[in-house]
Amino acid sequence: MTRYVMVADLRRCIGCQTCTAACKQANSTPPGVQWRRVVDIEVGEFPNVKRVFLPTGCQHCANPPCEEVCPTKATFKKDDGTVQIDYDLCIGCAYCAVACPYDARFKVEKENFAYGDEPMPHEAQRLNKATIGVAQKCTFCNDVVEAGVASGHKAGEHPDASPACVNSCITGALTFGDKDDPESQVNKLLDQSEHFRMHEEIGTEPGFYYIWDKKNMGDLL
Amino acid sequence: MTETRYVPTYCYNCVAGPDPMKVRVDNGVACEVVPNFDMEEMHPGNGRVCVKALGLVQKTYNPYRITTPMKRTNPKKGRDQDPGFEPISWDEAFDVIAEKLEALRAKGLTDERGLPRLAATFGHGGTPSAYMGTLPAFLASWGPIDFSFGSGQGVKCVHSEHLYGEYWHRAFTVCSDTVNTRYIISFGFNPESSGGPSAARRHADARVRGAKRIQVEPHLSVTGGASAEWVPIKPKTDLAFMFALINVLLHQSPRESLDIPYLRDSTSSPYLVGPKGYYLRDPESGEPLVWDSEAGVAVPHNTPGVKPALEGCFTVAAAYELGPDKEKYPYENIDGNTAFTLMVQSMEAYTPEWAEQMCDVPAQTITRIAKEYLDNACVGETIEIEGETLPFRPVSVVLGKTVNNGWGAYHCVWARTVLATLVGALEVPGGTIGTTVRLNRPFGNRLASVQPGEDGFMVSAMNATDKENWESAPSGRNAHKALVPIVNSGAWSQALGPTQLAWMFLNDAPSDWMRSTFPDVWFLYRSNPAISFWDSKQMVSIMAKMPFIVAFAYTADESNHMADILLPDATDLESTQLIRAGGTKFVEQIWEHEGVILRQPAVDPQGETKDMTWIATQLAKRTGLLEKYYKALNRGAGGIPLKGEGFDYSLDPSVEHSVEEVWDAACKAATSDYSGGKEVKDLEWFKENGFYMVPYKRQDWYLYPTLKAKGLRFELPYQERLKRVGEELKRRLHEQGVHWWDEQLEEYEALPAWDDVQARYNKALEHMGGTEEQFPLWGVTTKSAQYSAGNNAGIQLMDDVANNVRGHGSVIINAQTAQKLGIGNGERVEVRSIIGFTRGRAELVQGIRPDTICIPGQFEYWKTPFAKDLDYPSLNTVIPMSLELTDSTGSGADLVRVSVHRLGGDS
């Protein structure tokens, strides 16, 4: 079996938003829509304060609440563990966006461009009308990963088989790969470090792991 | 069917570059900027570019671009005036410019004051030269040009580090040897925002490895957020903290815990100092004396085999001191203290308990950090690098922008460098190291710039302060040669002089100083000083008086609003240039390779925009300078000498060459040079491959081995030469009846003493008519990774993603302070200083001192499309340009006393 997951190392992330921008370019999302983003959280009280930079987006849950509420089965789990949306089936009811505990889904009602109503050439080139009026979110760059794997690359271990956010990350904070492959980089990282998943207690079983330094960050998070 | 290709090129939007990237082009349209994984193993940032580079696609296709030359039709200039720009042809634009320039040449290149009639201002940290193609060759062929109108130089850089870092250890910029270090004390250094992929990756690896960074700063920056500990210090009191660290090392730690051999043999610590504060010198050789601890006699420092005493007071039979203007003070049986002993004495009063009163950091915190620093220094340990055994001292102290600028910055740079020498951590693996030189030659090879000078130190050229050679009639509008000896007189020197003086003196100069003049023609490239400098209102009013401005223009902006001619140059993804990369350079670009990297058009230039090399060539042609221009290019004015040992790709100066011909020659010359003639790669090869690199030795990251090999010492801790130079400068100015620089002259201290910088600001405020009660808070700023030096506020993508960053576009206020002021989160506030106000949304946080507010970045645009609608505040608007707040290097700090009050209503 295959279970694609993302690992974010919070010791490395600096909230620079390069991944956010790379995702926007790769997926040509309109202004304000960020399938990948890094949340900048301040914890503690003056003078004992820290900032935590938390990459987030669709957690590709094993038990996705978004899938459960979808009336048309547009949201579905793939056999690689990712959660995807069939835009043709989606009716844009946005139940999924409400159900998602990770605030990861977006709905855009009309075409929207960086500088007003007219697209720039690259926006026109990449315009995906299928995403208008329906739910949209991070796909783990599924088409790229699929093509890369089909070309013989190991998912997450070659740029041609990795999501744009992972490729772009300047601190090496993001790692992608197959959790079911004991030799994968994600397993090696998780085996060596303390980690958690967001809102694990609600049983979503996210496919997004956070490596942290519990000793130094545990009292603050 | 989509036809896709990837075009290798580089991003050098800030000094943390250049970083390699590829542009994905779909059906002839640039769609994405992605890493260049071909350089993953070589580039310290693993082939990645930072978020700013990802804005370059929007930069290319921004509908607000100026895509044809324009001329002003409204002769009146000012913020309130519509320039009435009308499109013209390139021919017409060149005709107008050439007419102006020819008239200027006919009058004489300098005016009646001896000041250049042509001035030029370029943007951030020398990065424009990585985009301006062959324009430097045109400038070189022209003659005298005034580069003293700054757009942030001296007030937004790390100015004292540039000057004194280079003076003390060839470190125009300084960083930790992050790949080896274990403990970093960072006073506001913010590499996670301004260090690009290289610094970000190195520090991330260090954190995971277990290295500890202590971040000392009033506002919890991004770097502070990624550090092990935040110490919220009072703004601009860092010196007290640093002096207390030195005090703990010198007065509360066993002497043998310091690196005694390093201090004794590689610094000026054992030099004997006489009663007037100058070295005691050998009557015969003139060399400074040390006390030979074995023979019990004073001998010249360079006596073979001597083991000098590090500390003590010794009686010397015969010696003299060398004072200003070569005055000699001879002595017999004179007592001399070692420089080290004088430092120990001078630091005795600066206990952690004293520092706590000054900087509001608990004494026990300072003491603990000093001891952690010492414990991690590994004094006595070594490391093997490429087969050579070198000292291993994995501790470092680094300084940020505001610590490094203005009053007290000289002292802080001194203290930082002394902290390194005390444990032998200066310029060795794990320690505090420099990355590049800009005031000493050769550029790009700081090791080669280490040449023996006077008194056992490296040679460091300074502007003359002796009676015969001091420049009494300044040749530039910021008088850098006259006022700042240490800035020297090289290509970068003028822009590192007191750049705000050039602006201020156009309006109002001191009564005992010459009146300044406006340049006849001012060139402006990749720069928007109306936003990036202080006191924006005054800046705009001065610029409006510039008689003739030629602005290379991307979009309309606040500075080119005053221009007479706009020239639209092809931007990052549309133009060609070959630049050097690798080795060691700004911020933390520390490579194991060096070579060249190509910028090339991923797409055709938009509209009528033109490559800068073509523009420069036309300017040279139209002004009759083509031959000189090509000769300058052949010498290397385009960054690569076209003729060298074993190769000659010189361009024939008698005929015009195309952009491609110029860079083809540069490609061939560079590869011939780097390969020792073994390989010659042309422009076509570079277009395919992107870069050419050869190995660069890790040993060359460190200066210490070169210094040892040449038998030289670091000129620390005692500043005898600076004391002498300062005294000479004072004499020269006083001889001219000039006294307005007197306070600055007091900075020329042999051993820096505490400087209460906050008191200086309070006094200056009082002189401007304000009181501390009226302006009870301190205003500071911080950089952000999305904007730092990018001149990219008009790029929508940057704002989109920066909105995830705490404080973006806001006034950051401590939540308790805000509560007392009745300010709620998100409410609009007005930040007021003695010169004006700026307005924006309040963001209430815990990570800032209660007495400080912070406004990130530089905004308050009023002309730049998109940016003008953001309604973000800017600290630049409310910081005065003040002679009183200018230090002896000509620099000032991003600091201002402010008040804040609620305007009401959500933003």
With bands split at pLDDT 50, 70 and 90, how would you rate the model's confidence at B907?
Answer: very low
Residue B774 within a domain: yes
Whether residue B408 sits in one domain with residue B277: yes
Candidates A120, A125, A172; nearest CB to B204: A172
Q: Return d(Cα B639, Cα B642) in angstroms, integer.
A: 9
Whether residue B870 sits in one domain with residue B726: no
Q: Return d(Cα A161, Cα A174) in angstroms, integer.
A: 14
Q: For chain B, how many structural domains are there in total?
A: 2
Candidates A42, A114, A120; nearest CB to B806: A42
Contacts of B369 (CB under 8 A, 6+ apart): B185, B214, B231, B245
The nearest alpha carbon in chain A to B34 belongs to A168
pLDDT higher than threshold 80 for residue A26: yes
Alpha carbon distances (Å) from B734 to B295, B467, B498 = 46, 12, 20
Whether residue B289 sits in one domain with residue B407: yes
How many residues appear in chain B? Answer: 907
In CATH terms, A4-217 corresponds, of 3.30.70.20, 3.40.50.10420, 3.30.70.100, 3.30.830.10, to 3.30.70.20
Q: What is the pLDDT of residue B444?
A: 74
Which chain B residues are Cβ-neighbours of A167 within 8 angstroms? Answer: 34-35, 37
Between chains, do A53 and B785 touch, taking CB under 8 Å as contact?
A: no
Q: Return d(Cα A139, Cα A148) in angstroms, integer.
A: 15
Helix (H, G, I), strand (E, B) or coil at A147: helix
DSSP state, residue B466: S
In B, residues 776-835, which contact A (CB 8 Å cutoff)? 785-786, 796-797, 800-802, 804-806, 814-816
Which chain A residues are Cβ-neighbours of B801 within 8 angstroms? Answer: 17, 20-21, 24, 34, 37
Q: What distance in Å separates residue A193's CA from the closest CA in chain B?
A: 10
Between chains, do B806 and A24 touch, taking CB under 8 Å as contact?
A: no
Whether residue B238 sits in one domain with residue B190: yes
The nearest alpha carbon in chain B to A24 belongs to B797
State how beta strands B777-782 and B896-906 pair. antiparallel
Per-residue exposure over B818-854, b if at least 16 CB sit within 10 Å of its own CB, e if not: beebebeeebbbbbbbbbebbbbbbbbbbbbbbebbb
Q: What is the pLDDT of residue B126?
A: 83
Q: What distance in Å separates residue A77's CA from the closest CA in chain B?
A: 29
pLDDT higher than threshold 70 for residue B906: no
The number of angstroms, rounded, from the C-alpha of B278 to the middle of its chain's C-alpha atoms is 31
Q: What is the pLDDT of residue B883?
A: 93
Q: What is the pLDDT of residues B337-361, one digit of tens each?
A: 999 999 999 999 999 999 999 999 9
Q: What is the pLDDT of residues B490-509, one digit of tens each?
A: 888 998 988 888 998 998 88
Q: Domain of B277: which CATH number?
A: 3.40.228.10
Please report where in the chains the tokens 């602005």 appear, as a residue: B551
Half-sphere exposure of A201 (CA within 13 A, CB side): 0
Helix (H, G, I), strand (E, B) or coil at A159: helix
Whether residue B398 sits in one domain with residue B256: yes
Q: What is the pLDDT of residue B125?
A: 82
Between chains, do A46 and B800 touch, taking CB under 8 Å as contact?
A: no
Which chain B residues are Cβ-neighbours of A22 within 8 angstroms? Answer: 32, 34, 54
Candidates B30, B204, B804; nearest CB to A122: B30
Best B52, B356, B800 residue to mutate vs chain A (most A CBs within 10 Å):
B800
Q: What is the pLDDT of residues B107-120, one digit of tens each?
A: 999 999 999 999 99
Whether residue B302 sits in one domain with residue B215: yes
Whether residue B802 sits in one domain with residue B726: no
DSSP for B21-59? EEEEEETTEEEEEEE-GGGTTTSTTTT---GGGGGHHHH
CB A87 within 8 A of CB A118: no
Domain that holds residue B859: 757-906
Question: What is the share, in percent, of chain B residues with pLDDT greater than 70?
Answer: 100
Q: Return d(Cα A101, Cα A66) in angstroms, integer.
A: 9
Best B205, B805, B816, B817 residue to mutate vs chain A (most A CBs within 10 Å):
B805
Residue B901 within a domain: yes
Q: What distance in Å separates residue A142's CA from the closest CA in chain B?
A: 18
Q: What distance in Å separates residue B624's CA from the closest CA in chain A?
A: 40
Q: What is the pLDDT of residues B407-425, one digit of tens each?
A: 999 999 999 999 999 999 9
Q: Return d(Cα B224, Cα A49) in angstroms, integer.
A: 10
Q: What is the pLDDT of residues B785-808, one digit of tens each?
A: 999 998 899 999 999 999 999 999
Q: Return d(Cα B178, Cα B188) in angstroms, integer.
A: 16
- Interface A-B, measured as beta-carbon pairs within 8 A, has a size of 174
CB B829 within 8 A of CB B811: yes
Please report where in the chains the tokens 């390779």 appear, as a residue: B593
Q: What is the pLDDT of residue A218?
A: 60
Residue B359 within a domain: yes
CB of B454 within 8 Å of a chain A CB? The answer is no
pLDDT higher than threshold 60 for residue B404: yes
Lookup: tokens for B325: 């203007």
In B, residues 27-46, which contact A (CB 8 Å cutoff)? 27, 29-35, 37, 45-46
Contacts of B886 (CB under 8 A, 6+ apart): B406, B498, B500, B501, B744, B892
Whether residue B802 sits in one domain with residue B725: no
List of E strands, B437-534: 521-525
Between chains, do A50 and B850 touch, taking CB under 8 Å as contact?
A: no
Which chain B residues are Cβ-neighbours of A125 within 8 angstroms? Answer: 26-27, 29, 31
CB B243 within 8 A of CB B347: yes
Domain end among B678, B699, B732:
B732
Among B465-479, B661-675, B761-775, where is mean pLDDT lowest? Answer: B465-479
Residue B136 within a domain: no
Q: What is the mean pLDDT of chain A?
A: 96
Angle at B412 between CA B406 and CA B418, to 5 degrees: 150
DSSP state, residue A113: B
Whether residue B388 sits in one domain with residue B261: yes
Q: What distance in Å separates residue A153's CA from the closest CA in chain B?
A: 15
Candidates B35, B45, B58; nearest CB to A167: B35
How many residues appear in chain A? Answer: 221
Q: What is the pLDDT of residues B833-864, one digit of tens each?
A: 999 999 999 999 999 999 999 999 999 999 99
Residue B450 within a domain: no
Contacts of B327 (CB under 8 A, 6+ apart): none
Q: Domain of B796: which CATH number?
A: 2.40.40.20
Q: What is the mean pLDDT of chain B?
A: 96
Between chains, do A216 and B228 touch, taking CB under 8 Å as contact?
A: yes
Q: What is the pLDDT of residues B520-554, one digit of tens each?
A: 999 999 999 999 999 988 999 999 999 999 999 99
Candidates B192, B205, B801; nearest CB to A14: B192
Helix (H, G, I), strand (E, B) or coil at B300: strand
Q: Return d(Cα B303, Cα B284) in angstroms, integer.
A: 13
Contacts of B203 (CB under 8 A, 6+ apart): A171, B178, B191, B192, B195, B213, B226
Is residue B78 exposed (0-12), middle (13-18) or buried (19+ Cβ within 10 Å)?
middle
Between chains, do A31 and B800 touch, taking CB under 8 Å as contact?
A: yes
- The residues spanned by each domain of chain A are 4-217
Which chain B residues are Cβ-neighbours of A16 within 8 angstroms? Answer: 50-51, 192-193, 200, 222, 785-786
Contacts of B259 (CB under 8 A, 6+ apart): B377, B379, B380, B391, B393, B421, B422, B423, B424, B425
